Amino acid sequence: MTQNENLAQLSKAGVAVWLDDLSRDRIRSGNLQSLVDEYSVVGVTTNPTIFAAAISGSDSYDDQLHAMAVRKVSVEEALRTITAADVRDACDLLAPVAARTGRDGRVSLEVAPGLAHDTDATAAEAAHLWWLVDRPNLFIKIPATEAGLPAITTSIAAGISVNVTLIFSLDRYRAVMDAYLTGIEQRIAAGGSLDGIESVASFFVSRVDTEIDKRLDAAGADASVKGKAGIANAQLAYQAYEEVFSSDRWKALETEGARPQRPLWASTGVKNPDYSDTMYISELIAPDTVNTMPEKTMKAYADHGQPGAAVQSSYADAEKVMQSVADAGVDLDDVFRVLEDEGVQKFVDAWDELTTSVKEQLEDKS
């Protein structure tokens, strides 16, 4: 099938196009395969909110739920069986992409969000999910909380590929990169193989604008500052990525066969209808990055997306944007702290909703 030209050009520029959604219906209907064939999709991300919508809105899970109800499995086991099955099937569908690219064709599955502040439990669940899905092109999503950082290191050292999620600040992003490098160093020291180990760092974009715009409005700031911080913050994250992955520390690991942890732009669906619906793609085009998009955003870029200025040429302007936001009275440290707390809580709420829905369906089918 013919690839969409806009997305094909995005791929040629070094941006891996990933879909930020998954459901059994997408897999069975051929929709996911068509996005791979026609829209240059080479990866998939999931989260508790995505699974809550997928399972509650479809009858594709009925037979599996009935079988588990008859067996009287726990709600927790049912949840993991269902989500692991979808992720495993998506991994199989994307296996040819993984074979072709050597680093994409990945599907992400998140640890239970309620574990976000428990290092040992996060690391243990990451290992369990890695075993449960049992596919080399899997990513385990671990939140970039303070407790999540050592779990990232532990998982990488164990040979588990990790998608680090819920990154908002440059300071935390640098800590994430350090956790990855430390994990690689520990694996090398233990004599472990680096074959197949990949990682991405999911830096959130649109949520930054939503929170900062709200505070700029409250401060009565000039409207010209609004809608710029999310992209500027991400552009500075890419600058940090270039610095870390050109360091002597990294070069020593690269010599051993390590692969860089790519920046992944997450939360790229525009929340404010006054903004361009493709801005979080157009302004974040850079080599060795991933952009995970809702289907609506992906198709908007396919229809009318145009590349913006190169990220590497935007660092000085990005610094000015972030300084302008701070000068307007916005406490950026507080913004990032609130966004992390809200991000974890949103996933906890979605997981609770999913748990309730699966429990009710198990009871109905027993």
Helix (H) or strand (E) holding 349: helix 332-365
Query: Does 56 reside within a domain?
Result: yes
Domain count along the chain: 1
Could you give the residue numbers annotated as active site? 141
Percent helix, strand, coil in the chain, to 5, is 60, 10, 30
Tokens of 91: 């991994």
Token pair 């791979």 in the structure block, residue: 36
AA letter at 93: L
Q: Quick check: is 201 in a domain?
A: yes
CB atoms within 10 A of CB 5: 10
Helix (H) or strand (E) holding 17: strand 15-19
**Domain membership flag for residue 2:** no
pLDDT in tens, 143-175: 999 999 999 999 999 999 999 999 999 999 999
Tell me if residue 72 falls in helix, strand or coil: coil
Any domain includes 311: yes
Residue 255 lies in a domain: yes
Q: pLDDT digits over 120-144, tens only?
A: 999 999 999 999 999 999 999 999 9
pTM (two decimals): 0.96
φ, ψ dihedrals at 142, nearest 5°: -125, 130
Residue 360 lies in a domain: yes
CA–CA distance, 46 with 23 (Å, rounded to integer): 9
Residue 20 token pair: 């930020």
Q: In the predicted model, is pLDDT for residue 52 greater than 90?
A: no
| Greater model confidence, 34 or 73 | 34
Residue 164: give the domain boundaries.
Answer: 9-365
CATH of the domain at 119: 3.20.20.70
CB 297 within 8 A of CB 268: yes
Residue 27 in domain: yes
